[in-house]
Structure 1
Amino acid sequence: MKKDTQQWYASWFDSPFYHILYKDRDHTEAQHFMDNLTNYLNLPEHGEILDLACGKGRHSVYLNSLGYKVTGVDLSENSIEYAKQFENETLQFEVHDMCKPYKKQFDAVFNLFTSFGYFDKEEDNLNTIKAISADLNEFGFGVIDFMNSEYVIDQLVSEDIKTVEGIDFHQKRSVKDGYIIKDITFTSHGENYQFQERVRAFTLKDFEALFAKAGVYLLDIYGDYKLKKFNPKTSERLVMIFK
């Protein structure tokens, strides 16, 4: 079995197989979320947004098309290299560790699609929220779009196979030591691969504690991309707006 010894997210997110497995993500839904979110926040015209953990830049590109000046940052060098093809005067991409403050401030910092809670070091979760706070200007808003862990655990499918581009991805899911874990194994061109996703099963209460430590104020909580009221039992998402 091929298994990377790096932090799992550094190797898995940089792998082409990650993008194959998740190629069917709903771009229309993501765009509607960005429409709803930017309208709700009433960001200034041509306002500046930091897309934190931007991946290949799908949210960044769409936000830029709405007229915002966008900086997309991610730890994955491969993802940033791909995203750079979309750059223009008001859209830039850069490799950056989200645990550390960026070099300027923004009208909004978006951390989208459960791009949080991966770290091996507990303090890095707090450091990320502190960094987001440091990246906001006086009137700026921070947004974390996380899974609703309670709902995800309740709906967890322990095992399945997803076939994409002729690759059978065997997925096993479990909850252990406060983490939601997905073990992914597959064979491609005669090579066996094994990856693992580990995300802290943070609840709203956990985030509230982190926000208090970071000195930020939680303004609003929503349960889906239409910005409907959050329900811990039935909401699929946990969307938090703070400053």
Structure 2
Amino acid sequence: MTKPTKQWYASWFNTPYYHILYKDRDYSEAQLFMDNLTNYLNIPEGGKILDLACGKGRHSIYLNELGFDVTGVDLSEQSIKHAQQFENDTLRFDVHDMSKPYPDTFDAVFNLFTSFGYFEDETCNLKTIKSIKAELNDFGFGVIDFMNVNYVMDQLVSEDIKTVEGIDFHQNRSVKDGYIVKDISFDADGEHYEFQERVKAFTLEDFEALFEEAGVYLLDVFGDYKLKTYHAQTSERLIMIFK
């Protein structure tokens, strides 16, 4: 049995079952978001983008297809190993802890699809924003695309079963100690597995406090992937542009 670990993301993201559970994510919507975001930021042709917590690199690959020079980094060695098969002269992948500055500067640093707030050590959240600041060139923009916790908590389904590729994933969701928690259990390949996802329930006000402490400036806030206005209770996303 695989028990939850302190750094849950380090073990869960490295399993094939994580990718099975989330295989039906809407990547056409994600690509539309990338189109809208890069147009809004007016990133120059051939501009450099750092994709923080890139997973298996699907969005890095798409950004590269749009003509950008892309570096994708992730803590998961398995995900990066998979992504590296797609590397070319303007697309590279690297294992990296996003709470530490990457040794280069970029026209944009993207942290997408709620890939923030995982850390057990809360100081790493501030360190990540300071690292993004260090990774931006003089004209660069940082982007954090986070869940809107007000909306998520209002819509929270406490328990369900999701069946993918013949695996019944039992999912239990709750709010504990300022975190949105999902406990996942399932049987696969003759073994029983238990994992837990924990994401800090950051509000816009929480991010504003982190930004102020990190010395970055919030420029704009959007509420969905079409870059519509953010509404605190009804928007599905919290997309923040800063520098």
* TM-score (normalised: structure 2): 0.99
List per-residue Cα deviations over 1:191-219 (Å, max 9, x = no partner).
10000000000000000000000000000
Indicate the residue corresponding to 1:234 in structure 2: 234
Q: Distance in 2 between matches of 1:5 and 1:184?
A: 13
Q: Distance in 1 between matches of 2:150 and 2:28?
A: 26
List per-residue Cα deviations over 1:42-98 (Å, max 9, x = no partner).
011100000000000011000000000000000000000000111000000000000
Indicate the residue corresponding to 2:8 in structure 1: 8
Indicate the residue corresponding to 1:125 in structure 2: 125
Secondary structure of residue in 2 paired with 1:146: strand
List per-residue Cα deviations over 1:155-191 (Å, max 9, x = no partner).
0000000000000000000001100000000001221
Q: Distance in 2 between matches of 1:127 and 1:20?
A: 31
Indicate the residue corresponding to 1:30 in structure 2: 30
Between 1:224-233 and 1:3-12, the stretch displaced more is 3-12
Indicate the residue corresponding to 2:149 in structure 1: 149
Q: Distance in 2 between matches of 1:88 and 1:46?
A: 14
List per-residue Cα deviations over 1:116-157 (Å, max 9, x = no partner).
000001100000000000000000000000000010000000
Secondary structure of residue in 2 paired with 1:130: helix
Could you tell me which runs of 5 or more consecutive residues in structure 1 were left unpaired when the two chains were aligned: none
Which amino acid in 1 is paired with 2:233?
A: K
Which amino acid in 2 is paired with 1:133?
A: K
Which amino acid in 1 is paired with 2:222?
A: Y
Q: Distance in 2 between matches of 1:166 and 1:133?
A: 44
Q: How does 1:17-96 map to 2 (within 5 A)?
A: 17-96=17-96
Indicate the residue corresponding to 2:192 in structure 1: 192
Q: How does 1:106-185 map to 2 (within 5 A)?
A: 106-185=106-185
Which amino acid in 1 is paired with 2:20?
A: I
Shift of 1:2: 2.1
* TM-score (normalised: structure 1): 0.99
Aligned residues: 243
Secondary structure of residue in 1 paired with 2:45: coil
Which amino acid in 2 is paired with 1:207?
A: F
Secondary structure of residue in 1 paired with 2:216: coil
Q: Distance in 2 between matches of 1:189 and 1:81?
A: 23
Q: Distance in 2 between matches of 1:62 and 1:5?
A: 32
Q: Distance in 2 between matches of 1:19 and 1:5?
A: 19
Shift of 1:6: 4.9
Q: Distance in 2 between matches of 1:6 and 1:231?
A: 33
Contact 2:53 2:73 in 1 (8 A): yes
Shift of 1:5: 3.2
Which amino acid in 2 is paired with 1:172?
A: N
Secondary structure of residue in 1 paired with 2:31: helix
Contact 2:56 2:82 in 1 (8 A): yes
Shift of 1:4: 4.8
Indicate the residue corresponding to 1:202 in structure 2: 202
Q: Distance in 2 between matches of 1:5 and 1:173?
A: 17
**Which portions of structure 1, spanning 4 or more consecutive aligned residues, are displaced by more than 3 angstroms?**
none
Shift of 1:3: 1.3
Q: Distance in 2 between matches of 1:2 and 1:223?
A: 36
Between the aligned residues of both structures, percent identity stands at: 76
Indicate the residue corresponding to 1:212 in structure 2: 212
Q: Distance in 2 between matches of 1:122 and 1:149?
A: 18
Q: CA RMSD in A?
A: 0.7
